[in-house]
Structure 1
Amino acid sequence: MELANQLKSLADKINQLKDKIETEESTKHAFVLPFINILGYDTFNPTEVVPEFTADLGLKKGEKVDYAIIQNDEPILIIECKNWKESLSVHGSQLFRYFHVSKTRFALLTNGITYQFFTDLDEKNKMDQKPFLEFDITNLKDNAIHEITKFHKSNFDVNKILDNASSLKFIKEIRKLIDTEINTPSPEFVKLFANKVYNGRLTEKVMEEFTELVQKAFGQLIGEKINERLQFALNKEVILQEKDQIEDSEQTKVITTEEELEAYRIVVAILRRKLPVNRIVHRDTQSYFGILLDDNNRKPLCRLHLNGGKKYIGLFNIDKSENRQPIETIDDIYLFEKELLETVELYDVE
């Protein structure tokens, strides 16, 4: 989650600054170096991130790639940067030469906005013509963030990345083909469906008709799938709102006792070591006395059941299910100090 937030912050910064960035050097400093920092590498440590890394090419000595990330004295990722205004399509050959003479298995070509990661799946020690991972940092999808995480210093594992790189590469190409076929169906694609639903001869006129039908069918199917997802999300939100309204209505019938407030102060005394006091909020209901993070009923810290014949403290695990533990008096809450502090770790606490 932290990495995703950092990438979003960088994307916001890029959108704000890009029109003021004129040169390749400015692109490196404003866009690319912050990305390297997000991956956990110290750009101020020349033994970890080497600028102007020398990659000698046969008789051409002194050829340099913009950056190399070093691990165990060997480059694990070489990076070639371009001005953010430039397309990367014409710069792959330069990185290809650098890759061939270095010991790295990964190369990155970027203009600070588009990122293309390469390896040598087709032929060892020779960089592939096509990247196995490509993304626009200003329009990141969850699957791209997941793959970026693998290049973080704390996660970097050559073999794990390589094992997944082949699948990523083929999925990328298949997605492109599917997108093309949906928008402009090829004769082969149209025949695949026409042969299954049409018994006559596929004349030119029939093919024209089915080309339109296939395109329309896919459009309708995709639209319906999107609507289903939206409807599901809306229904879920309505249920949550109704639940909140019921709880709010119940609040008018609730009387908060001094014992509950004293128990709340005990919980605050325990949790303030990890949380600011203003983030620990109580919300009383007819059924229980709830203590929440940021007054969010989807972030329960604990529940107290003090008004019945027996007293309980309700603790929460990673599944957010309540586990009730009996207590004799509210002073027994101190016995659950460890569990309460662990509950804080369930949430992305900043």
Structure 2
Amino acid sequence: MDFKDAIKQLGDRVIKLKSQVLTEEATKNAFIMPFIKELGYDVFNPLEVIPEFVADIGIKQGEKIDYAIIKDGAPIILIECKCHTGPLSVQNASQLFRYFHATKAKFSILTNGIEYRFYTDLVEPNRMDEKPFFVFDITEMKDTQIEELKKFHKTNFDFTKIVNTASELKYTNELKLLINQELNTPSPDFVKYFAKQIYPGFVTQKILEQFTELTKKSFTQYINDIITDRLKSALNKEAESQKLETPNIENENSIIGDEPKIVTTQEEIDGFLIVKSILRQIIPVNRIVYRDAQTYFSILLDDNNRKTICRLYFNTSKKQIGLFDSNKKESKIELSSLDDLYSHASTLLETVRNYDNKKISTEAEFEQSSNN
């Protein structure tokens, strides 16, 4: 298994187990030690990983950092761990700040087993920066983040190369946060920049308020269009393959005379791709399939008709989506456009989580009954 697959598998493990991991010690054992192992270090070899690492500092005697990764007898990475049930904060990193300048370590990690924050000394030598240069959520890792993380693997670790990209990573991440903030809550200056270029008159407070909503809506639609277009291009072959393999579609025995009973439209395929783009953050896209019928277009988990994620009713003038609650009761909601599918993202994600949680629960019960 390559590094990318191993990290994504660990992310899936965290999602499945986090409801049962409720203490800091359990977080270390279930999430963080496996993470260190995937970086190529033997967590049971004190020449590579030292748990409860001690480096006395002035009057601070006996304080411990949860883990220190060792190379040539000296620490290169310090790791401070917290329980995943609580958010991380600067206060959580107080010991890392103290230990950083007292050891030879040039990198430190603050983590709760889900979020990982990587620090170094870009601002002032031998003094840990207050802001991390690399942050990720292991349950939602992007390929680009995995490539950056790979640089910390034992076989790839090169201090100079990492430092050379750390500055760029830090400012890129800060810019992304700023862009995200502006897109979700546009500032007056941000809105004015666009409003002045298209509004012929003076930008009053009333106009500013109007353009704030228009700016936010325009960026959301633009980003959604980009996502849909890219997914349509990248997944077109996969969708065509599923169309050929899926039962109840027009190229099978569903034709009366010369007219097909079932026709899978481009709009239905577009809707399917949007739902895929929403769900790919928590499950592999190959687990999401569709089955077309005469009156609706079903999107399923694991090609199982007992795990219907949603239904698209696009064969009439009034388009609707059918959403399912925990009791599999369907509720139909009208859509004014395909973009409206994004507004139901939380419900779609929750539906998939419910199916997976039931699967985990069933497997646990099976194991328990087998043991008995």
Q: Fold match, TM over 0.5?
A: yes
Residue matched to 1:32: 32
**Partner residue, 1:73:** 73
Q: Is the 2:82–2:113 Cα contact (8 Å) retained in structure 1?
A: yes
What is the letter of the counterpart of residue 179 of structure 2? I
Residue identity matched to 1:51: P
* Partners of 1:211 and 1:22 in 2: CA distance: 42
Q: What SS does the aligned partner of 1:207 have? A: helix
Partner of 2:184: 183
Q: 2: CA distance between counterparts of 1:234 and 1:101? A: 51
Q: Is the 8 A contact 2:33 2:43 kept in 1?
A: yes
1:174 paired to 2:180:
no
> 3-state DSSP class of the match of 1:70?
strand
Q: Matches of residues 135-284 of structure 1 in structure 2 within 5 Å?
A: 135-237=136-238
Equivalent position SS for 2:225: helix
- Give the distance between the partners of 1:60 and 1:6, measured in 2 at CA: 38
Q: 5 Å matches for 1:330-345? A: none
| Identity level (%) | 54
Instruction: Summarize the Cα distance change of 1:29–1:235 in structure 2 as closer, same or farther, 3 Å threshold.
Output: closer
Dislocated runs of 4+, deviation >4 Å: 238-244
**SS of aligned partner of 2:109:** strand
TM-score of the two chains, using structure 1 as the length reference: 0.66
Taking a change above 3 Å as real, the CA distance of residues 195 and 28 of structure 1, as seen in their structure-2 partners, is: same
Aligned position for 1:59: 59
Aligned to 1:42: 42
Q: Secondary structure at the match of 2:79?
A: strand
CA RMSD, Structure 1 to Structure 2 (Å): 2.1
Which residue of structure 2 lines up, in the alignment, with residue 113 of structure 1? 114
Task: Tell me how far apart the structure 1 counterparts of residues 115 and 126 of structure 2 sit (CA, whole Å).
Answer: 24
On the 8 A contact 2:12/2:139 being kept in 1, the answer is yes
- After superposition, the C-alpha distances for 1:296-321 in whole angstroms (9 at most, x for unaligned) are xxxxxxxxxxxxxxxxxxxxxxxxxx
Distance 1:238 1:67, change over 3 A: closer
Partner of 2:101: 100
Question: Could you tell me which amino acid in structure 1 is paired with residue 100 of structure 2?
Answer: F
Shift of 1:238: 5.4
Residue identity opposite 2:81 in structure 1: C
Query: Does the 8 Å CA contact 2:15/2:139 hold for their aligned counterparts?
Result: yes
Whether contact under 8 Å (2:109, 2:118) holds in the other structure is yes
Structure 1, unaligned runs of 5 or more: 245-350
| Residue 84 (1) aligns with residue 84 (2) | yes
Residue 44 of structure 1, CA deviation: 1.4
Q: 1:67 to 1:189 in 2, by over 3 A?
A: same
TM norm structure 2:
0.62
CA–CA distance in structure 2, aligned partners of residues 138 and 35 of structure 1: 12
Distance 1:209 1:23, change over 3 A: closer
Q: Which amino acid aligns with 2:206?
A: K
Q: Are the aligned partners of 2:191 and 2:212 in contact in 1 as well (CA < 8 Å)? A: yes
1:22 shift after superposition: 3.0
CA contact (8 A) 2:80 2:93 kept: no
